[in-house]
Amino acid sequence: MATSNTLDSNTPVVLAKRSSFVWLTVDSIMLIVLMVTVVLGVVLLANAGLIAACVGSTKVARLWNSRGLLTARLGEIAPYLGGITAVILINKLLQDAAARFARTYGFEATSLFYTIEGDFVAWLQSLFPEVTNLYFGTIYIFGYAVLLSFPLIGYLFAEDAVPYKTTVTAYAVNYAIAIVIYTAVLAYGPRVYAAEVSHGLLELFPQITGLLALANSAENVFPSLHTSMSMTVLFVALQTHSEFPRWTPVAVFLALNIVLSTMVLGIHWLVDVVAGVVLAWISITIANRFVSRQRPTTPIAAD
């Protein structure tokens, strides 16, 4: 099939404007509220099950029944939560400016990515029947939310605060590095560039896709943050396997399926995914070194 190897520079802007126009209606706002409520409900239910299965009642009770330990733990992690909140806010505030800068001065890498990997994404899509888009779309949206949120709850009950601090620090590093790259590199995903790549997520969940378009610029594909954040969680899960052995296979399953979904749904190139894995490794390396240099945390005494 023919491939569209040229992009109208106005196309992403037009799409963004259309999305914004659609979402300004009252019905659309209500739909956004409904979707957010559904996602939050799924995430809460999934995390409740994961805490029961992967953390266990003993760990939960040990921290929860000692309000002094709980207060101390929350005090330890509060600066880290403040830090990641600041990084995400700065990232979102700079997102439009970074996109404009990239369109004007950034290195246009989309054609290079296609030259490197060709029709890999289209070939990968051909391996899966269209019905599997429902599975991968669910994994991409709900699985991702569960994967990233569980460490922020489950690691509260770890023996010490190191896993929590490492996770949050690595999240922040991912976002900080990503915004710099997004400013310097202009790249569009395969579903925008290659005619033979299907729009799996858009076809399945057009409303959710429109909502995601408001939160992310069309050029934010290199590296894949879905990949880097998922692999970050996986790397921390491997580090904490001895304490949370049941969480490790869950993290492996979700992370690898999320990474796969980014390509099956036509959102990312293989190059984006590889870059996302590298970014995750860099982020976790920086986080480990940063946390290890901080004052040792007070462990929760075993029963």
Tell me if residue 245 falls in helix, strand or coil: coil
Question: Cα 135 to chain center, whole Å?
Answer: 17
Question: Is residue 1 in some structural domain?
Answer: no
Q: Which residue has the higher pLDDT, 88 or 199?
A: 88
Question: Is residue 301 in some structural domain?
Answer: no
Residues 6 or more apart in contact with residue 83 via CB below 8 angstroms: 168, 169, 172
Q: Which residue has the higher pLDDT, 301 or 106?
A: 106
Question: Cα 209 to chain center, whole Å?
Answer: 15
pLDDT at 71: 85
Question: Is residue 242 in some structural domain?
Answer: yes
CA-CA distance, 261 to 142, in Å (whole number)?
12
Q: Which residues pair with 186 in a beta bridge?
A: 108
Exposure b/e, 131-154, CB count within 10 A at least 16 = b: eebeebbbbbbbbbbbbbbbbbbb
The string of DSSP letters for 117-184 reads HTTHHHHHHHTS-TTHHHHHHHIIIIIHHHHHHHHHHHGGGSSSSHHHHHHHHHHHHHHHHHHHHHHH
Residue range of the domain that includes 256: 15-292
Q: What is the pLDDT of residues 74-116, one digit of tens each?
A: 888 999 999 999 998 888 788 778 878 888 888 888 889 989 9
CB 223 within 8 A of CB 178: yes
Instruction: Return the DSSP state at 217.
Output: -
Instruction: State the pTM of this model.
Output: 0.83
Question: Is residue 4 in some structural domain?
Answer: no
Tell me if residue 185 falls in helix, strand or coil: strand
Q: What is the pLDDT of residues 23-61, one digit of tens each?
A: 446 666 676 677 778 888 989 999 999 999 999 888 888
Question: Is residue 299 in some structural domain?
Answer: no
Q: Which long-range contacts (CB under 8 A, 24 or more apart) does 11-18 make?
A: 11/192, 12/188, 12/192, 12/217, 12/218, 12/219, 15/213, 15/218, 16/213, 16/217, 16/218
Q: What is the pLDDT of residues 118-139, one digit of tens each?
A: 889 989 988 998 888 889 988 9
Q: Would you say residue 294 has pLDDT above 60?
A: yes
Q: For a pLDDT cut of 70, what percent of the chain falls above it?
A: 78
Q: Would you say residue 9 has pLDDT above 50?
A: no
Q: How many domains does the chain have?
A: 1
How would residue 13 be classed by pLDDT, with cut points 50, 70 and 90? Answer: very low
Q: What are the Cα distances from residue 154, in Å, to 57, 59, 93, 195, 217? A: 12, 10, 30, 43, 31
Question: Is residue 251 in some structural domain?
Answer: yes
Q: Would you say residue 261 has pLDDT above 80?
A: yes
Question: Is residue 217 in some structural domain?
Answer: yes
Q: Give the number of other Cβ atoms within 10 Å of residue 113's Cβ.
A: 24
pLDDT at 208: 57
Question: Is residue 192 in some structural domain?
Answer: yes
The string of DSSP letters for 57-110 reads HHHHHHHHT-HHHHHHHHHHHHHHHHHHHHHHHHHHHHHHHHHHHHHHHSEE-H
